Structure 1
Amino acid sequence: MSSLSKSGVLDMKERLRGFFNITVTPFTADGAIDTAALAENIERELAVGVDGLLIGGTYGEFPTMTVEERATLFRLVMDQVGSRVPVMLCSAGSDVRVVRDLTVLAGELGGVPMITPPYVSEITDDQIVAFFRDMAPLSRTGALIYNAPGIGITLSAKLIERLADIPEMVAIKQGDLTPTVIDQLVGALHGRVRLFCASDLAFLGPVAAGFDGISSTNSCAFPELILDSYRAMQRGDVTTAGALHRLWFPYRQLARRFGQPQTVKAAMHARGWTGGSVRLPLRDLSAAEAAAVRDVVATMAADARSRIETVTA
């Protein structure tokens, strides 16, 4: 690794910590990316005080986009955000050529590429390690492992330890939140690479165990509430963090029933923000489902700040 790339990797690793908003991609009814809404949503998150952004991830619907659309999304966001906060740019894919090109672009733009193992049947652990060894050095800012059990291969803790030995690896976004796995990763990797919890529904335990940050989809709709819960955990105030987390349980019930990211987009609409539509094969919520979301939002989001102040007083 050259001195220039080594400097970029170390700088990115230092910056990767805290609360990252998983920014949904707002699509218009005819399927185009709503760039104005995207810019507005990003500025809202930055104004609330998030520590970083994650763009074009699974809840950003990257599998439904062309390579050109993903590259355009990267450029739009990085032009807007600049160096204000670190940005994870999802370069995942099953075609190595796509992953390579997007990984290079992410690093050139100043973001950090987020890579999953390729979705290939019967791939071996050694082949996965070789894949990451090929991809990680392509980015001048290093690379981030995304362990996403819901969309592909579940990386074991032992395999993640091997991947963390790659010099350019700066962080892991961990979707397998089994307590024994969390314990293994914190015990073996804390301080070597940044550890991010991939779920805002279950971040209290991993953060308490020693994770460096979380990524949150639902903060697109409830940024104040979820961020304050995370900040309470950072302060060591577990009681407040848990109380704040419980405030949005009714919404989590709906999200489990209706699916993501369509539910969070509906909640954004209920707050007067533009979440946009989802792309096929996903479907926007039905009228009845959207009404249920609006009812929940009316009871817990419209006065989110006052309810937070009541809990934290």
Structure 2
Amino acid sequence: MNRLDSSAQGVYLITVTPFTDSGALDLASTDRMVDFCLEKGVTGLTVLGIMGEATKLTAEESRTFVKQVLARVNGKVPVVVGASAPGFAAMKELTDSVMDLGASGVMVAPPPSVRTDDQILSYFQMVDETLGAKVPWVLQDHPVSTTVQMSASVILRILKNSPTCVMLKHEDWPGLAKLSAIRAASDKGEVKRVSILTGNGGGLFLPEELTRGADGAMTGFAYPEMMVDVVAAHARGDRERAHDLFDAYLPLARYEQQAGVGLAVRKQLFQDRGVITSAFVRKPGPKLSDKDLADIALLVRRQDKRLRELA
């Protein structure tokens, strides 16, 4: 098993959950999606995230999907599973199940019910106790979806108190100053150094976040090769190339990040690329119009043109 640890870096792509046109799990498309991601060079995969429609799956469907992904990955890259749940019993049950199947770790976000700093700290102390000493976990900071604001100082206190928290999924927006503060604290030895993977707006600030000290990205985009190539260019010191590549994909990445319809756009692009058979989004979910599809086609054509120019 590729057990998650604080040295993690690169691109952990947050996957969609493929369905058939009737809404059933599509395990054949799941296999193609895993193969596609590996071919594009991702460092890891994250499943059952917010954009993975985790809340629309039954407990049995969640386990079936994770088992399929892990079997197809076959140890080639680490797989992180979203384990956020309203109660700790459900979190523990899912965590134990996926870790037994071979997951590398789990990801936990705070519930909307915690508001004060003390409540947040108490909650993640209970997360530590629930998951146990052998399960590495990712702290997900995504206030846009959770409505929970965690300051840099609170995150640093969580990291100090949680020996098995090995990664921060940084998704606050704006969040560059917070990222800088957390990385500066670890550089000074004030807190252990953990991996920081960003997901800010689907990677809309990826070059700047890498410059601020992020170790890579953990987010979704129908063109994972963008993140892979940008992270690689930045790692070898070619920041201009990293920005040029990022700029070429930015219009489509921005379009995919529209609130409400973003998942439908991403699934449509995956279908257009032959990765999944159906772009079906479970209810409640949006359906794209003919005008939406025309927008996507235009953006893809312009993106292809720009990439040819860069090559």
Structure 1 residues 134 and 14: CA distance shift in structure 2, 3 A: closer
Cα 1:259–1:230, aligned 2, differ >3 Å: closer, same or farther?
A: farther
Contact 2:248 2:307 in 1 (8 A): no
* Residue matched to 2:261: 259
Q: CA deviation at 1:15?
A: 5.8
> Equivalents in 1 of 2:37, 2:309: separation in Å?
20
Counterpart selection for 2:85 from 84, 93, 103:
93
Identity of aligned pairs, percent? Answer: 25
Corresponding position of 1:185: 182
Q: How many angstroms apart in 2 are the aligned matches of 1:256 and 1:167?
A: 34
- Give structure 2 stretches of 5+ with no counterpart: none
Q: Deviations over 1:133-180 (max 9, x none)?
A: 223426x34111111112212322122112212111111111114222
Residue 48 of structure 2, aligned match among 47, 56, 59: 56
**Which residue in 2 is equivalent to 1:3?**
none
Aligned-residue offset at 1:72: 1.6
In structure 2, which of residues 45, 62, 65 is the aligned counterpart of residue 70 of structure 1?
A: 62
* Residue 209 (structure 1) aligns with: 212
Q: Residue 273 in 1 paired to residue 268 in 2?
A: no
Distance of aligned partners of 1:102 and 1:239 in 2 relative to their CA distance in 1, 3 Å threshold: same
Mapped to 1, the partners of 2:230 and 2:67 lie a distance apart of 31
1:117·1:128 contact (CA, 8 Å) conserved in 2?
A: yes
Output aligned runs, 1:1-313, within 5 Å. 11-13=3-5, 16-111=8-103, 112-120=105-113, 122=115, 124-137=119-132, 140-152=134-146, 153-165=148-160, 166-177=162-173, 178-189=175-186, 192-199=193-200, 200-218=203-221, 221-257=222-258, 259-274=261-276, 276-301=279-304, 306-309=308-311
- Match of 1:224, SS state, is helix
Could you tell me whether the CA contact under 8 Å between 1:196 and 1:213 is conserved in 2?
yes
> Does structure 1 conserve the Cα–Cα contact (< 8 Å) formed by 2:196 and 2:214?
yes
Q: Displacement of 1:110 after TM fit? A: 2.8
Q: CA deviation at 1:113?
A: 0.5
- Comparing 249-258 with 37-46, which one deviates more in the overlay? 249-258
Amino acid of the structure 2 residue aligned with 1:144: V
TM-score by length of 2: 0.87
- Distance verdict in 2 for CA 1:167–1:212, change over 3 Å: same
TM-score, with length taken from structure 1: 0.87
Q: How many residues align?
A: 297
Letter of the structure 2 residue corresponding to residue 143 of structure 1: W
Q: Which amino acid aligns with 2:169?
A: K
The unaligned stretches of length 5 or more in structure 1 are 1-7
Give the C-alpha shift of residue 106 in structure 1.
2.8
1:135 corresponds to which letter in structure 2?
T
Query: 1-side partners of 2:288 and 2:7: how far apart?
Result: 37
What secondary structure sits across from 1:88 in the alignment? Answer: strand
Q: Give the SS at the match of 1:145.
A: strand
Q: CA deviation at 1:25?
A: 0.8
Note the aligned Cα RMSD (angstroms): 2.2
Q: Deviations over 1:25-47 (max 9, x none)?
A: 11222211111111101101101
Do the aligned partners of residues 145 and 14 (structure 1) sit closer, same or farther apart at CA in structure 2, a change above 3 Å counting? closer
Correspondence for 1:5? none
**TM-fit CA distance, 1:308:** 4.4
